[in-house]
Structure formats: C-alpha cells, structure tokens
Amino acid sequence: MSNIRIKNLNDQNLDELIALCPFNAIEKDAQSGLAINAGCRMCRICLKRKPDVFYLAEAAPAPRINKQEWQGLAVYIEQQNGCIHPVSLELIGKAREMAAKTGQQVFCLLACEKSAGLPEQILAYGVDKVFVYERPELHHFRIEPFTAVFTDFIKRVKPSGVLVGGTSIGRSLAPRVAARFKTGLTADCTILDINASTDIDQIRPAYGGNIMAHIQTPNHRPQFATVRYKIFNAPEKTEPWGTVEFCQLDAAALKSAIEVLEVRPKEKVRSVEDAEVIVVAGKGIKKETDLKMIYELSDALGAMTAGTRPLIEQGWFDPRLQIGLSGRTVKPALIITCGVSGSVQFAAGMQGADHIIAINNDPDAAIFNLAHYAIVGDLYQVVPSLLEKIRKGGALV
Amino acid sequence: MKILVCIKQVPDSTRVDIDPETMTLKRGGVDSKINPFDLFAIETAVKLKEKHNAHVCSISMGPPQTEAAIRETYMLGVDEGILLSDRNFAGADVLATSYALSQGILSAGMPDLIICGRQTTDGDTGQVGPEIAEFLNIPHVAYVRNIVSSDEKGMVLEMDMPETVEVVRINFPFLMTVEKGIFQPRLPSFKRRLASKDRPVRRLTLADMPDSQPENYGLKGSPTQVIRIFPPTNPATHETWKDAPEVLADKIYNKLSELKFL
C-alpha cells in the first residue's frame, strides 16, 4: 500500500498547503515543517494541486495469497426451531448464480441441535454439499460455540467466499468469524457479482444510503459478505444432486460463557414509524365498517393500518395512527393509500416511502403526483378483488 | 469495575455529495459529532458507573480533531479518554479498525466490560463491536435492549432479536452492543464541562501498541478495498394504471409479489 509524503518545502506557504486538505490531515510539525496526520483519506487532492511538494510513496506489495487453495462459495444456513430463515435460501440463489460463472461449487453450513429433515430441504435448492454440525450446545444462538463451528467449517472446506444473512444472528456471527480469519467483511451488500479471479464484487450503500460503495477483498480469503433479507431471490426447487456430511467437533470447543435463561416472544407494541408496510385509509372510505377490508389488506401484507386526519377526527383511529404533518412521519418500505387525496400535509409525512401505491377514483388526486404506482379506480371494487387474489394466491403456495 | 465505551466521530449530516469528476466525497466544511448510536452506549456506561461506582473510559480512533468527541464524553460523565491517532491507522476498514481499537484497549489495560453502540451513521456496518471482542478473545452479546440485573461478577441482559427477546446471563469480561432506547441519553452538562476542562485525553500512537507492525493497521491492514463510490441510481418509477377493477387488482397483486411484499 502507498501513502503520501512530503518531499520539498522550500519557499512554500505552509498555511496554503495546510488549506489544501479537505480532511485537515496536513498539519504543522516542529521538526520537518509539515506532517501528514491520521486524517489522511488518500483523496490525493494535495498530489494533484501541489505535485512539487507531495508525492506518493509506494510500499512493497504484500505477499499474494494463493486463491487456488480457496474454492467454492459457502452459505450460512440460519435456522430456528427447525425452520430455515428465507434469507438463507436467497443467498443460495445468489451463490449458485456466482458459482456458475466461475465453475465453483456451492456449500452450506448448518449448525443446530437437531437437523432432522433440514439437509434434504437445503439440497432441494441445488447446492453441492451441506455440512451439518449437530450438537446440544447449538440449541440457542450463543456466540462462542457458533463461531467455533463456523471456524471448523472454513478450515475444512476453504471456501473462496462466505455469504451470511444480515439478520440479528448473522450480523453478530459473521464479523466474529471474519476477524478470526483476519479477512474482509462487507456488511449489507445489495449487489454481488464475481469475476474470473474469484474476487467478489460487493456493492453496498453507505452514509444512510446516500452513496454506494463498490468493495473487493482482493488478497484475503475467505471473502465475507452479509446480505439483508429480501434483497435477492430464492431459487426454484430442483431435483437434488448434492450430498450431506456430518461433522464432529470437540465438546471443549463448544463451551460458552453465556447462559440463556429465557427466550420469550416479543410483545407486539409497534409504533407506525417502525412499520415496514403501512396501509392508509383516507376520506374515500365512506363508513367505519368499511375499514374491515382495509384491515384485511393490512393483515395479508403484515402491515399496520393508519389513517388521514379526517378519519382520526371522526374517531375511527387512534391519533397515534395519523400520518402527516400534524401526525406521524413515516418511511416504510411500502405504503398503500386507499381513498387518500394526498394533501400537502399528508404527503410531507410519507413521501420518503420506498414504494408508494395509491388507489383513488379521482384521476386528478394530488396523491398521484408522488405515487410510484397510481391506481385510478374505485377502492370499493379494487380492494376486495385484490383480497380475493391474495387469498387464492396464498392457497396455491 | 472498569468500563470502556467505544465511540466514533461521524459527519453531522448523512447528506453527502460526490464530486462527479473525481468521484470522491465532498466533505469540506461538514461538522462532526459523536455517532448518535454511541450516546446510548455512553449513557449505559454512566448508569452502571452510578450503580457500581465504576470507572468509565471512552476510546476512539481518528484524526487529532477527534479529541473533541472524547471531550464531549467527559461532559456526559466519562472519567477518562483515549484517542488512537496515527497516520498508520488511517484508511482502516472494519477489520483494521477493530484490530487497532483492540490493541489500544490492550495497551490501556483490559476493562471488565466494553460497550459499543449498535452501528455508526456513516459506515452503517455494525460489525466493529463483535470484531473487537474476537481480537480480545472475550464473548460478546449484541442487540442488548435492557439490563435486567448487574453485580460485581456479571450481568443479566435482554437481547432484542427480531421475533423474540432472549435473556442471558454472562460473566465479565465481555463486550456488549446496545440498542437505542436502552436508556435515554443525558445532555452534556456545563458543570462537568468546567470540571473536565483540564482533564487530558490520552493519545496513543502506533508505537504504543503491543503489535507495532504498521502493515497490520490502517489502509495496509485492511483486507477490503473500495474500488469506487457512486451515487445511487434511483429510477423514479411513475406509472399510472387505469383499468377495470379486476385487472387493477391483478396488476397490484403481481407488483406486490414482484416487490416481495406477498
């Protein structure tokens, strides 16, 4: 790796040079006149502006690792009480896609108390081999035994890349294992691809989604990436061809300082600000009993139901469920408005939603200006018909 | 009891602009503040200090101006502060950051408890806490939303998992990452500010680390490399659908399935 150094300060205005750096990384130094401190981000602005003063010192390249020794893509299978978390299946889909490009295999790691039936379920998604660690110590998620299992798996398999779901468990486990192998980890990737040298192109948002960063781990293996749920697609099931290997691990390696005293379901007090999906009822709802279909739609989507100001004033909703300037500001992944005209005050409270679907029978409704999908139709016909579709669709799965 | 809180100084705003020509971040004139998630970690440490008469130390890594963030922790009730600042630490990714912090912690003396916020507002990774714990060879508990009890030996904690709350008992030493809402962070106190005005911030450089090999730190010690940064492409969808109610319902159904809400 390279860094910036100072070669020549003859006749230079030090204050001008200090002002060059947007990160305040150039500072006065009693001995040499100027020094570059820890603020340096290698933006190279100083190099461009004052090439006579600053230069790039190239350090000896680090020894290259042998990428041939690291083959295949591994997916960590997250399970709870015998149910596989769907993000694991989505990662299998992405791993298979990438593995096909480089002619590699896809491996899965399953760590649990009892694996009954799970390896077969995993094989049905087209993976080459499932490595199973079955131990009573793996009943609850505790960091030390799961890290030990993961470590054993990586030493055994030597995968080139490892994908872990960006869940509460994955975001605790993946960094721990990555640190143990002193390798790179890219969190919350939204795009993954692979090149011929088996380097994974990892793209993730930073600064609250205001910029995207394209990241590689060019000289370390395995390459760790976490991906959140619902970013990729689960693959279709196929005729399985893979195999299962049961792995043993010393009980001493599975010790934990953590004792799980209780696991209880979370109380369901949710505020509308936290909801991922919101269905909003507006003035287009003629009477209170008609809200039934709105609630049914919410239930089908796992959503929260909220209202606009007129409905709150009628007493149909708790004031805490009012969306808009005088109510709550929300930024869900999806908002469906039913019979909402879309006043400026309402829009201010919800325009940050990722997806806005608006249903209104007035083609000139203001809500359509900010809706991604403007549905011009009578909600009394569209919503029941949609519910019917969802019911049928649900029965088919 | 000795408690250590890890903090980071972050830009005051997450609104960043990219210079379209150089494809670098335009950060000129952006104010800095303590990562908001870290305020919950600081508050947790100070609450424990009040209960157990503990000594609380804050640690951060960054350029010299990060000292301001450490000084701010003094106004919130932290007793001592350490700043890791060395050119060799700059440009660190998750691994190199965690490694440097763990080395700094070793150099300052292992505490009984390390507390981190759940994530930062600039990097957003939330991975530094667990990596520090790994480098220090101590267990960690993530997503702590409540302290059920604490004594001289250890703590009973509630972990906030997506569907469940897990209650765990763990003995010191360990690291925990806390959720926002565990405690309401207090405001900086003017009285404490005056009282701590002459309190030093301890500076540690590469030479102070137990491992003083420069290649293990900063950009050189970072396995991940940022190839490029770019603004997110946000194709503003705007479609108007006019049709018979059943057809509309059909289209909404398909769109909801496609977007994975069904």
pLDDT on residue B29: 55
Joined together, the tokens standing for residue B21 give 């020509």
What is the CA angle A261-A135-A139, rounded to 5? 25
Whole-number percent of chain B with pLDDT over 90: 74
Model confidence at A209: pLDDT above 80? no
Contact B240 A378 (CB under 8 A): no
> Could you tell me if B225 lies within 8 Å of chain A, comparing CB atoms?
yes
Pairwise CB contact (< 8 Å): A262 & B167 = yes
The answer to whether position A303 is within a domain reads yes
What CATH number is given to the structural domain containing A223? Answer: 3.40.50.620
CATH fit for domain B2-216, picks 3.40.50.620, 3.40.50.2300, 3.20.20.70, 1.10.569.10: 3.40.50.620
SS3 at position B189: coil
Confirm whether A229 is domain-assigned.
Answer: yes
Q: Do A390 and B253 touch (CB under 8 A)?
A: yes
pLDDT-wise least confident of A65-74, B8-17, B74-83: B8-17
Question: How high is the pLDDT of residue A396?
Answer: 44
**Contact partners, residue B226, CB within 8 Å, separation at least 6:** A213, A214, A215
CB-CB under 8 Å, A187 with B124: yes
Q: Binning pLDDT at 50, 70 and 90, where does residue B30 land? A: low
Residue A304 covered by a domain: yes
Q: Quote the CA–CA distance of A358 and A370 in Å, as a whole number.
A: 9
H helix runs in B53-180, sequence order: 67-75, 94-108, 128-136
Look at A211 and B164 and tell me if their CB atoms are within 8 Å: no
Which three-class secondary structure state does DSSP give residue B82? strand
The pLDDT tens digits for A359-396 are 999 999 999 988 999 999 999 999 999 999 998 875 44
Task: Nearest chain B residue to A268 by CA: give it.
Answer: B163
B260, pLDDT greater than 70? yes
Q: Are residues A202 and A293 located together in one domain of the fold?
A: no
Distances (CA, A) of B244 to A368, A371, B71, B224, B250: 18, 19, 65, 53, 10
Which chain B residues are closer than 8 Å to A147 by Cβ? 134
| Count of CB pairs separated by less than 8 Å, A with B | 284
pLDDT of residue A397: 38
CA distance B119 to B99: 17
Site of tokens 């790994």: B134
**Domain containing residue A341: CATH number:** 3.40.50.1220
For residue A332, give how far its alpha carbon lies from the nearest alpha carbon of chain B (Å): 12
The structural domain count of chain A equals: 3
CA nearest A182 in B: which residue? Answer: B95
Q: Confidence class of residue B262 from pLDDT cuts 50, 70 and 90? A: confident
Listed in sequence order, the residues at least 6 apart from A227 whose beta carbon sits closer than 8 Å to its beta carbon are: A87, A90, A91, A94, A163, A164, A165, A166, A188, A189, A190, A192
Are B242 and A363 within 8 A, CB to CB? Answer: yes
A245 reaches B (C-beta below 8 A): no
- The verdict on residue A267 lying in a domain is no
**Is residue A295 within 8 angstroms of chain B, CB to CB?**
no
Tell me the pTM: 0.81
Interface subset of A 60-89, CB within 8 angstroms of B? 62, 80
Q: How far apart are CA A202 and CA A180, in angstroms?
A: 21
**Higher model confidence: residue A150 or residue B226?**
A150
pLDDT classification of B180: cutoffs 50, 70, 90: confident
**Whether A305 and A220 share a structural domain:** no
Instruction: Choose the mutation target among B9, B134, B177 for the interface with A, i.e. most A CBs under 10 Å.
Output: B134
Of the residues B120, B132, B256, B259, the best mutation for testing chain A's interface (the one with the most A CB atoms within 10 Å of its CB) is B256
Q: What is the pLDDT of residue B17?
A: 67
Contacts of A176 in chain B (CB under 8 A): 130-131, 133-134, 140
Residue A242 sits in the same domain as residue A291: no
Residue of B nearest to A226 (CA): B125
Note down the domain range covering A24: 2-58
Mean pLDDT over each residue of chain A, to the nearest integer: 90
Domain chopping of chain B, boundaries: 2-216
Q: Does residue B162 surpass a pLDDT of 80?
A: no
Interval B7-23 mean pLDDT: 72
Residues 21-50 of B with CB under 8 A from A: 22, 24-28
Q: In A, which residues are within 8 Å of B62 by CB distance?
A: 38-39
Contact assignment for B261 to A215 by CB distance below 8 Å: no
Give the residue from A44, A183, A276, A382 with the most B CB atoms within 10 Å of its CB, the best one to mutate: A382
All residues at 6 or more sequence positions from B233 whose CB lies less than 8 Å from its CB, including other chains: none
**Angle at which helices A379-396 and A291-301 pack, to 10 degrees?**
30
| A241 and A373 co-located in one domain | no
Residues in B closer than 8 angstroms to A210, CB to CB, are: 14-16, 231-232
CB atoms within 10 A of CB A68: 8
Model confidence band, residue B193 (pLDDT cutoffs 50, 70, 90) = very high
C-alpha pair distances (Å), A100 with each of A87, A125, A201, B12, B87: 20, 14, 15, 44, 42
What is the arithmetic mean of pLDDT over B121-146? 93
**A356 C-beta neighbours (distance < 10 Å), count:** 24
* Range in A27-31, B57-61, B223-227, B247-251 with the lowest mean pLDDT: A27-31
Per-residue pLDDT at A395: 44
pLDDT digits (tens, 9 = 90+) for A215-256: 999 999 999 999 988 888 889 999 999 999 999 999 999 999
Q: Tokens for A230?
A: 């619902």
Among A residues 151-170, those touching chain B with beta carbons less than 8 Å apart? 167-169
User: CA nearest A224: which of A179, A168, A169?
Assistant: A179
The whole-number pLDDT of residue A327 equals: 81
In-domain check, residue A261? no
Chain-wide mean pLDDT for chain B?
A: 91
Q: What is the pLDDT of residues A334-360, one digit of tens each?
A: 999 999 999 888 987 888 888 999 999
What is the mean predicted confidence (pLDDT) over B151-178? 94
Q: Which pLDDT score, from 0 to 100, does residue B24 have? A: 56
Question: In angstroms, how far apart are the furthest CA atoms of chain B?
Answer: 75
Q: What is the pLDDT of residues A97-145, one digit of tens each?
A: 999 999 999 999 999 999 999 999 999 999 999 999 999 999 999 999 9
User: Rounded to whole angstroms, how far apart are CA atoms A333 and A352?
Assistant: 9
According to the model, what pLDDT value does residue A191 have? 93
User: Is pLDDT at B14 greater than 90 in this prediction?
Assistant: no
If contacts are CB pairs under 8 Å, which of residues 175-214 in chain B contact chain A? none
> Is the pLDDT confidence value at B249 over 90?
yes
What's the confidence (pLDDT) of residue B171?
96
Task: Tell me which of A222, A254, A286 is where a domain ends.
Answer: A254
Residue A12 inside a domain? The answer is yes
For residue B61, give both structure tokens.
């890594």
Question: In terms of domains, do A37 and A122 share one?
Answer: no
Cα separation, B18 vs B93, in Å, equals: 20
Q: Which residue of A has its CA nearest to B235?
A: A372
Q: To the nearest whole angstrom, how far is the Cα of A347 from the nearest Cα of chain B?
A: 16
With an 8 Å Cβ cutoff, is A251 touching chain B? no
Could you say which of A32, A58, A84 is where a domain stops?
A58
Indicate if A39 and A90 belong to the same structural domain. no
Cβ distance A258 to B250 less than 8 Å, yes or no, reads no
Mutation site for A-interface testing, chosen from B135, B224, B259, B260 by largest number of A Cβ within 10 Å:
B224
Nearest to B122 among A206, A371, A383 (CB): A206
Average pLDDT score over residue span A276-301: 94
Say whether both A302 and A186 belong to one domain. Answer: no
The verdict on residue A361 lying in a domain is yes
Same structural domain, A249 and A117: yes
Asked if B125 has any chain A CB less than 8 Å from its own CB, the reply is yes
Same structural domain for residues A191 and A87? yes
Nearest to B126 among A142, A179, A187 (CB): A187
pLDDT value at residue A2: 62
Which is more confident, A50 or A159?
Answer: A159
